[in-house]
Amino acid sequence: MTADEPSGGPSVEASSPASGEVSGGVADERRRRPGGRTERVRKQVLEAVQAELAERGYDALSMDAVAARAGVHRATVYRRWRDLGGLLADVFDAASADDWQPADTGSLQGDLAALNHESQSSLTAQLPLVPALIAASFRSEEAARGVQHLWEDRYARCEAIVARAVERGEIPAGTDARALLLAATAPIYHHLVLLRAPADPDLPEQAARTAVLAARAGAFLRPDPS
């Protein structure tokens, strides 16, 4: 699940880096999603934000560095995004507007394994944008809200994996999709982000297989409201 992803994932954003405020003008301009030259500038700037984060981290992120990398005048960046919070918010806004969907391999284990492989690839990329965005979320309120929204969006899209499995009769009806998805994907993030261990080529399949076995046994059934 990437932010470009992230994660398919997903594929995947002033004065005060942690101000947590985006003015109405910035939000309105993002919603208008203009085309032509304006949209090209937006694409260049958001790509520059992601590259700066991946290469240098949140502490080194600055409006001037983004403008220089994007090849646009600094006044353009300040006028449209106002501050770093506005830039980060727009990175996540753009990521959530993509058309990413989880793979449909024909089986629950295959779908979960594909999701885990995609997540592992994003987390171990040469320019690790996803870990940089996660790190930024601990320093910026805008980034924190953006990460939460992006992950909520990605998990909502991935609920189709569980729905397909129920329809195929692989797992019981009433399975909690979010609980199953978290159980299947958490080992990847724990291994790479928390433990900072080298990528394990067998882990995506192993985590998927374990989650499927638990789901078949009813481990993720929602409680009976009665």
Q: Domain of 182: which CATH number?
A: 1.10.357.10
Quick check: is 1 in a domain? no
Per-residue pLDDT averaged across 125-148, rounded?
86
Model confidence, pTM: 0.77
More confident residue, 35 or 204: 204
Position 34 scores a pLDDT of 53
Of 51, 67, 96, the last residue of a domain is: 96
Task: Give the closest residue to 220 by CA, choosing from 181, 179, 191.
Answer: 179
With bands split at pLDDT 50, 70 and 90, how would you rate the model's confidence at 108?
A: very high
Separation between Cα atoms, residue 4 and residue 145, nearest integer Å:
17
Q: Which residues pair with 175 in a beta bridge?
A: 221
Handedness of CA 113, 115, 119, 125 (dihedral sign): positive
Whether residues 66 and 117 fall in one domain: no
Whether residues 114 and 211 fall in one domain: yes
- Percent of residues, the chain, with pLDDT higher than 70: 84
Is the CB of residue 48 less than 8 Å from the CB of residue 181? no
Separation between Cα atoms, residue 152 and residue 140, nearest integer Å:
18
Q: Is the pLDDT of residue 120 over 70?
A: yes
Whether residues 207 and 122 fall in one domain: yes
Whether residues 161 and 207 fall in one domain: yes
With bands split at pLDDT 50, 70 and 90, how would you rate the model's confidence at 225?
A: confident
Of 96, 117, 136, the last residue of a domain is: 96
Whether residues 88 and 112 fall in one domain: no
DSSP 171: S
Q: Quote the number of domains for the chain.
A: 2
Position 1 scores a pLDDT of 54
Position 143 scores a pLDDT of 87
Q: Is the pLDDT of residue 26 over 80?
A: no
More confident residue, 5 or 47: 47
Domain enclosing residue 66, as ranges:
24-96
Q: Is the pLDDT of residue 198 over 80?
A: yes
Per-residue pLDDT averaged across 9-31, rounded?
35
